[in-house]
Structure 1
Amino acid sequence: MILFNAWPALWRMSLLALALLAGLGLVQPALAQSDPDAEIATAVPAINADAWRQVRSGETGPNYRDSRFDSNYNLINAGGETWRQIRNRWVSPFGLIAIGAMLVMITLFYLVFGRKDLDEPRTGRKLLRWTVLERSLHWTVATLFIVLALTGLNLLYGKFVFRPLFGDAFWAGMMSGTKVLHNYLGPLFGALLIIILAKFLMRNLPKKGDWAWFKQGGGLIGKGRHPDAGFANGGEKVWYWLLATAGLAVIASGLVLDFPNYGQSRDTMQWANIVHAVGALGLTAVALGHIYIGTLGTEGSLEGMATGYVDETWAKEHHNLWYEQVKDQAIDADQVAARSRPGPDDSAPAGERTS
């Protein structure tokens, strides 16, 4: 009687044991999948010399091919491996070296030579150098450039910095926002850069006097006479033409990456990625020097782009050829303060209205 009454309990325990064993059997694949190394070992054979031989000869099976409609592209391919090697072994170190070296040079230059102050006292009389439209274009493009540079650096190096510090969840959200900002602001930056390049083209055409400016170091070193310069000096022209060449290459390659639905192949996308990264990293490094010279490195430069006006002394010292053209248009500081809105004659910088 006791055995008969215990039988249902034993039956239930047997079923529970079987369920437990089945559960353990199901858990093992899940545990294997939670381990990336174990998952790779079970899902994809090791990529060895034989696998690369098959890839290059086209002998790969269906597990190695793109599953999209009408695609015969190999998921594992020599071109992708070449891109990975170039990106990891050359592009990423190049970016760190270029940007790090520029920061070191700027720091050493500032510690050794300090800020380039004006050689003569300010007169208090002002010359219009940048219109409201030109300043708006400059600051908009500059802001977009900084945002794109920071988001681009995060895409390239962020996983080595923020992922160990904050963990996967924070890093994943950060990267998602970074990609959205970079992808959507890039085309806007490209359109505005083309506008600003077209507007400032005539001021930045090379002239024979530019070489003398470079030979004298742009006047940043020493107390001698500052080299001759028109509206744009040699250094500003170099920055302009870097934007007009490397900058446009970065924009074009970025559009190839941003809009992959126009028939470009993966090989094209890979090379566009390399061009985009190298150009952007190089421009970021040079931009640090441009920012330093226009702010901390040279007295009076920042206020010109901030207010539109520069002091006579600054104009005479840094852009003497331009100053000679416009010196009769200088106005007192109180007149500048009284101008709440640009008048009809302020549509272009001084010196160009009289041409």
Structure 2
Amino acid sequence: MNLLTEWLHTWRVPLLALLVLLSLGMAGPVLAQADPEGEIATAVPATDADTWRQVRSGETGPNYRDSRFDSNYNLINASGETWRQIRNRWVSPFGLIAICGMLAMIVLFYLIVGRKHLDEPRTGRKLLRWTALERSLHWSVATLFIILALTGLNLLYGKFLFKTLFGDAFWAGMISGSKMLHNYLGPLFGVLLVIILAKFLVRNLPSKHDWTWFKQGGGLIGKGRHPDAGFANGGEKVWYWLLATAGLVVIASGLVLDFPNYGQSRDAMQWANIVHAVGALGLTAVALGHIYIGTLGTEGSLEGMATGYVDETWAKEHHNLWYEEVKHQAADADETLGEESTPPQRSS
């Protein structure tokens, strides 16, 4: 025991010195890992400004490609930045200008001109204008359009308003619900829109008298009788063809975004997003005018889509050519209750 104790006392100092040297030797790598510059210098040599310039220039070699399977995108995707700039600098401001500008025009028009009332008293005799099927299609498409417009606007602008007002928790639930509604109701809207466009195609074919309707501003410019119009007037036909062109483009681009599992490239998704946003914002702005004219702006228009019937006076003033074709079917209001038949072929 005495010999062991003596040996430990003798070698204590050299052992402590050895332990200190070992700890200093291990501290070097640890400090190098704690130092970001040192770590980069050892893990990725020559990662300097010239290397990043190569990446930025579009180099897609194995050293500059992202790690996802079968990807040809480099570490810095210039097209993504282009998409972001177009969306934030052009699309978003354009949407606000278009929608707010339309709202301002409607308010000014209502304050200056007011509601368009019928020139003559109502006769009390009704004409069937919209069947139950047609009204169901219209209200279904209109309801879906409004939901998609509101959720789309929330996705684009909502964070600047609702997140600031109500905080992150409320905003998270709101944006999640908006995204789900938008993604799931979009395809349904597309199917119903195609059906309603096919059903109303013949009524919305262009006619010679449409040009006169536009020159007179639908009867707002000049004096005298209203311009000629068949079942659909010039303004209604414009709305129809906007839906048949821009509306179908919005649906197609939305499906590209809604189903990304069919091999779309990132570039295709980015351009589909831009096209979808521009088309949807433009249609939303025009839809505000359509909604105003069909409700508050024109006496008798809303009741036609609500009940299916319009007064003789309304038909004569707004759709005189159609009225001439169906005037023999006019009936007293009490006779039309519970009675609905398919209207005959109407003029364009």
State the TM-score, normalizing by the size of structure 2: 0.82
For the pair 1:132 / 2:132, whether they are aligned, the reply is: yes
Aligned to 2:55: 54
Q: Which runs of 4+ in 1 moved over 4 A?
A: 59-62
- 1:170, distance to aligned residue in structure 2 (A): 1.1
Question: How do 1:81-230 residues align onto structure 2 when only pairs under 5 Å count?
Answer: 81-220=81-220, 224-230=224-230
Question: Are residues 98 and 133 of structure 1, via their aligned partners in 2, closer, same or farther at CA, if it must alter by over 3 Å?
Answer: same
Report the Cα offset of residue 67 of structure 1.
3.1
Q: Quick one: distance in 1 between partners of 2:199 and 2:124?
A: 30
Question: Is 1:263 aligned with 2:256?
Answer: no
CA distance in 2, matches of 1:136, 1:87: 36
Alpha-carbon deviation of 1:168? 1.0
Question: Shift of the alpha carbon at 1:353?
Answer: 8.2
2:133 match: secondary structure: helix
Cα distance, 1:50–1:326 mapped onto 2, change above 3 Å: farther
Q: Deviations over 1:26-76 (max 9, x none)?
A: xxx9xxxxxxxxxxxxxxxxxx997465232316876x7443322232353
User: Could you tell me how far 1:220 is from its partner in structure 2?
Assistant: 3.5
Contact 1:102–1:288 (Cα < 8 Å) also in 2:
yes
- Residue 56 to residue 311, structure 1, CA distance change in 2 (3 Å): same
**How far apart, in 1, do the equivalents of 2:193 and 2:50 lie?**
47
On the 8 A contact 1:116/1:220 being kept in 2, the answer is no
Q: Counterpart of 1:253?
A: 253
Q: State the structure with more CA Rg.
A: 2
1:268-279 to 2 correspondence within 5 Å? Answer: 268-279=268-279
Aligned to 1:296, what secondary structure does the other structure show? Answer: helix
Compared CA separation, residues 143 and 130, structure 1 to 2 (3 A): same
Q: Residues 270, 49 of structure 1: CA spacing in aligned structure 2 closer, same or farther, 3 A cutoff?
A: farther
| Percent of aligned positions that are identical | 82
Residue 223 (structure 1) shift = 5.5
Q: CA deviation at 1:141?
A: 0.1
Query: 1:327/1:76 Cα in 2 relative to 1: closer, same or farther (>3 Å)?
Result: same
- How many residues are matched? 300
Q: Extract unaligned runs of 5+ from structure 2.
A: 1-33, 35-48
Amino acid at match of 1:73: Y
Matched, 1:352 2:345: yes
TM-score (norm 1): 0.81
The amino acid across from 2:212 in the alignment is A
Q: CA RMSD in A?
A: 2.0
Secondary structure at the aligned position of 1:57 is classed as coil
The 1-side partners of 2:54 and 2:98 are apart by: 37
Deviation at 1:334, TM superposition (A): 0.5
- One-letter code aligned to 1:58: E
Q: For each residue in 1:67-120, what CA deviation from the matched residue of structure 2 results, as whole angstroms up to 9, or x when unmatched?
A: 332223235311001100000000000000000110010001000000000000
**In structure 1, what is the Cα distance between the partners aligned to 2:204 and 2:253?**
25
Check the 8 A contact 1:187/1:255 in 2, yes or no.
yes
Q: 1:165 to 1:146 in 2, by over 3 A?
A: same
281 and 188 in structure 1: CA distance in 2 versus 1, 3 angstrom threshold: same
Q: Aligned residue for 1:335?
A: 335
Q: Is 1:293 aligned to residue 290 of structure 2?
A: no
User: How far apart, CA to CA, are the structure 2 residues paired with 1:329 and 1:49?
Assistant: 82
Paired residue type of 2:69: F
- Partner letter of residue 260 of structure 1? P
By how many angstroms is 1:224 displaced?
2.9
Specify the SS of the correspondent of 2:262.
Answer: coil
